[in-house]
């Protein structure tokens, strides 16, 4: 099931993720009491959303990578949350596609690194649809664009996941029409290298991009990579 939650707070997104995850874990526990042919097929969910401005810090991140104090966060109407996903600090906000695949990975494969590579590959294939070449950089999770004479290497999609009993939560943040000035208020993903920065699809193609078009392409590539059929609970929203 693919669900587009629209624009919601980070807290609400986390609550929905946990509810779906707990449901999948319950099915997993119940299935262990039955023969394979009698087991319930879980309803995996792929959640799309857009968050109100928020900085989130992963479990291995450093709080000093947030460059604003509590008063400054309040003045700029940005919330801050520590979370249990992997990775360091990143930004979620308007114009960004956040994807939360809530999957029982035992129905697909049980390889965390392969799972992250598949997420990266879905983003890379989506970028290719817009005639942009995405890439991986060894040692840096996420999807990047090559340096040019005018620009350094640029991160366009951050990835941070968590698995509980092989059920996934959290996911990726793909900068589509994102206001990139928010990233100047943090050390994005804890990467302070001067030859690396952050970008968006809008910035790379020099015009706003249809979020609906990007979502459609993303889910098609995810379905192809993970070999699943899907249905939409509702229409995608900009």
With a CB cutoff of 8 Å and minimum separation 6, the contacts of 153 are: 137, 144, 145, 146, 147, 195, 196, 197
The C-alpha atoms of residue 43 and residue 90 are separated, in whole angstroms, by: 29
- Residues 189, 198, 211, 219: which is the catalytic one? 189
Please give the structure tokens belonging to residue 144: 């990047």
Is 189 catalytic? The answer is yes
Would you say 102 and 166 are in contact if contact means Cβ atoms under 8 Å apart?
A: no
The C-alpha atoms of residue 97 and residue 17 are separated, in whole angstroms, by: 16
Q: DSSP letter string over 44-94? A: -EEEEEEESSEEEE-TT--GGGB-S-HHHHHHTT-EEEE-SSSSSEEEE-T
Residues serving a catalytic function are 189
């Amino acid at each position: 099931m693919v669900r587009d939650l629209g624009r919601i707070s980070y807290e609400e997104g986390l609550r929905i993720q946990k509810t779906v995850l707990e449901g999948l874990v319950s099915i997993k526990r119940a299935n262990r009491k039955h023969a394979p042919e009698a087991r319930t097929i879980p309803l995996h969910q792929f959640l799309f959303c857009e968050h109100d401005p928020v900085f989130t810090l992963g479990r291995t991140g450093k709080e000093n990578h947030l460059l604003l104090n509590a008063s400054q966060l309040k003045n700029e109407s940005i919330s801050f949350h520590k979370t249990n996903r992997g990775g360091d600090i990143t930004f979620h906000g308007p114009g960004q596609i956040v994807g939360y695949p809530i999957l029982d990975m035992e129905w697909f494969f049980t390889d965390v690194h392969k799972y992250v590579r598949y997420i990266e590959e879905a983003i890379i294939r989506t970028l290719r649809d817009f005639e942009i070449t995405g890439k991986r950089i060894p040692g840096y999770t996420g999807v990047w664009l090559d340096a040019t004479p005018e620009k350094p290497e640029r991160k366009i999609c951050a990835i941070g996941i968590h698995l509980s009993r092989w059920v996934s939560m959290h996911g990726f943040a793909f900068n589509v029409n994102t206001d990139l000035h928010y990233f100047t208020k943090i050390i994005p993903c804890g990467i302070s290298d001067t030859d690396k920065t952050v970008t968006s699809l809008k910035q790379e193609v020099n015009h706003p991009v249809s979020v609906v078009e990007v979502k459609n392409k993303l889910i098609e590539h995810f379905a192809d990579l993970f070999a699943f059929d899907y249905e939409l609970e509702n229409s995608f929203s900009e």
